[in-house]
Chains A and B, each alone.
Chain A
């Protein structure tokens, strides 16, 4: 926790309508801790509201996700229930606000997520081979390819994302060039079992 919170508060205030702002002055409180309400204390992730771990997330990836949520490129498909939970939050953010948030989130210590899914990790390992090209052998991610780390992320969240990419709820937006690449690969996972298996394998990769 740092002074950063206060600066976020200020940054967030900037994008409120002028009229509302006048009344909110001195009430910066209202802007502080939204991320933690959903993503859990210090961004450890919260299955209860399906909001994934943020602690330890790569700053470049975090920034991009906040931008595409804000710009309606992610989280606006009518069937993307979880994404639509996140999206209204992001619409409050300015560019400066995003920079502040990224710095703030960066101050949270990385804690690998609790494992909740058990599938056939061996079958998953075979499936993961094609993923490794972008996400890396240890699922450590690759900034150059825009592919985030997967190891240590909440497994239930990875399942939602693969399901949503496959169905076109994420990644199908015309401006989502990164997401569309991923969509193609999610479609290589034949069914629910394949998704569970590959995620079970990712669960075995320490980070």
Chain B
């Protein structure tokens, strides 16, 4: 690799090493950032007399958004929620809560303190999610910073350095040093292909050197950016021993180091103080008794002039006749509820697959990560647990809740295990990072979204192939986004191109509201 390479070869090399090409093609939800959408809720006129009854099926954030906007406009809204709580995939677990996993119900026995919680579903709010932030402000939800990256957190991979955990900062500094050296070497060649003026060349070379902390000879010999091995304050710092690139290049986390904190998961991320469900509480506070809990929708008939909804409540089957219906029940559950959807609609619903994300958390008897210079952020582990998150909140308190696993790809690995096996796996894999982990953590909570009652999945999977959305899939999506008879709207992040974000769920609700608003205006104009 010491031979100069052409730019194309260089780009290819980069692609091969870091999989950037593959990443872009995959269009991973986490690395692509859609443009921020302006606040988009429409302004409704008051409903025509006798035309303002609305049923909202499911108290997911999209349903609550519709209920809130239409309530403000004077509509008579009823939210039917199967569970005993609102929020769906916005779930915060605290002392005394029951995790309603089918076949593995768990009760949380953590200390009852405001910082002792775990966001089992949505956890991060990007700065660009303007509609979600708009509601946080409108509903008085206090926000704080969420720390996604800590340079002192770890990367652990059995494939490198004999499985020894390495600090994020050590790895990223060395990767940049290596890349910069490569840039510097190939730059001479690049210059020949496309000449730069001498002044331009100097600028570029300075940038390359700064990027990787190269010395005068454009070589990387280690950097204080990774922190000192000793000293630095009252005596001269001693640089840490440099990690040879070839010793770490086999970990798939090299690319992760470059992308995990970019785009939508880049700074600055936020979280509500006290748990993500503070947003849901904001909505339900505003909606009062409009939300009916333990009301499981059991049937739905769309008519020309409205929608009839059947639901089970207090062991009785009840019906509700409304003018309009907004539905965020996950498509894979809605297919089991008698309905009269048109065939193409049903076909689109059935096309969607459900995701398998898995999370877990422990109560930590002490905040051992703080003794290890870690305050928030993520450690990456090349094992099924995938990630360990240190809480951004409650710094220096006695205890904390540590996220022990976050796996959104092959989540079935954990889902299929029984609780005791899951816990043992969490401990065994966490121990690779923190040697006394097993002694320091207790009271596990595991969240297999695939088996959580009334959800049975973490998010809609529209794409069947890694090549991006096919035209067929786009057509199915369009079908599902359109209302039936102008009376029934499907909403939720399942009706977005960017699943697994609250902003997408809210925007889908706004889309439906805008569509209805236009229809109503056209009708009243006619």
Measuring CB to CB, which residues of chain A are less than 8 angstroms from any residue of chain B? 1-3, 5-6, 16, 20, 23-24, 27, 29-30, 32-34, 36-42, 44-49, 51, 84-85, 87-89, 91-92, 111
Contacts and interface: CB of A to CB of B under 8 A. Distances in A.
Interface in B303-328: 310, 312, 315-317
Contacts of B315: 1-3, 5-6
Given A39-B336, A44-B338, A84-B416, 17 more contacts: A1-B312, A2-B315, A32-B294, A36-B296, A37-B453, A38-B102, A40-B337, A41-B296, A42-B298, A46-B333, A47-B336, A47-B350, A48-B331, A49-B332, A51-B336, A85-B451, A89-B102
Interface stretch (B103-111, B396-404, B432-440): B103-111
A48 B296 contact: no
Nearest to B317: A1
A27 B98 contact: yes
A174 to B, nearest CB: 21
B393 interface: no
A20 B105 contact: yes
Contacts, number: 97
A136 to B, nearest CB: 28
A152 to B, nearest CB: 15
B456 interface: yes
A16 B105 CA distance: 9
A37 B456 contact: yes
B320 to A, nearest CB: 15
Contacts of A23: 96, 107
A41 B453 contact: no
Contacts of A41: 296-299, 310, 312, 336-338
Contacts of A24: 98, 105, 107
28 contacts: A1-B312, A1-B317, A2-B315, A6-B315, A16-B105, A30-B105, A34-B453, A36-B296, A37-B82, A37-B333, A38-B336, A40-B336, A41-B297, A41-B312, A41-B336, A41-B337, A41-B338, A44-B338, A46-B332, A46-B336, A48-B336, A49-B336, A49-B456, A84-B416, A85-B451, A88-B102, A88-B451, A111-B338
Contacts of A5: 315
B427 interface: no
B350 A48 contact: yes
Residue of B96, B296, B310 ringed by the most chain A CB atoms within 10 A: B296
B140 to A, nearest CB: 30
Interface residues of B, number: 37
Contacts of A33: 82, 296, 312
A192 to B, nearest CB: 20
Contacts of A111: 338
B454 interface: yes
A3 B102 CA distance: 22
Given A24-B98, A48-B336, A37 B454 contact: yes
Nearest to B455: A37
Q: Is the interface of A mostly helix, strand, loop or mixed?
A: helix
B335 interface: yes
A113 to B, nearest CB: 11
Contacts of A38: 102, 336, 456
Nearest to B299: A41
Task: List the 3 shortest-distance A-B pairs measured between CB atoms, nearest first.
Answer: A88-B103, A46-B336, A40-B336
B107 A20 contact: yes
B76 interface: no
A30 B418 CA distance: 19
Nearest to A114: B346
B334 interface: yes
B153 interface: no
A88 B448 CA distance: 13
Contacts of A84: 416
Contacts of A46: 332-333, 335-336
Contacts of B61: none
Nearest to A34: B102
Contacts of A36: 296, 298, 312, 336
B174 to A, nearest CB: 41
Q: Tell me which of B333, B336, B337 has the highest count of chain A C-beta atoms within 10 A of its own C-beta.
A: B336
A23 B107 CA distance: 8
Nearest to B331: A48
Nearest to B316: A1
A32 B453 CA distance: 11
B84 interface: yes
A111 B337 CA distance: 13
Contacts of A37: 82, 102, 333, 453-454, 456
A30 B453 CA distance: 9
Contact of B103 (A20, A40, A49, A91): A91
Nearest to B412: A81
A119 B305 CA distance: 39
Contacts of B312: 1, 33, 36, 41
A92 B102 CA distance: 9
Interface in B64-86: 82, 84
A7 B312 CA distance: 17
B100 interface: yes
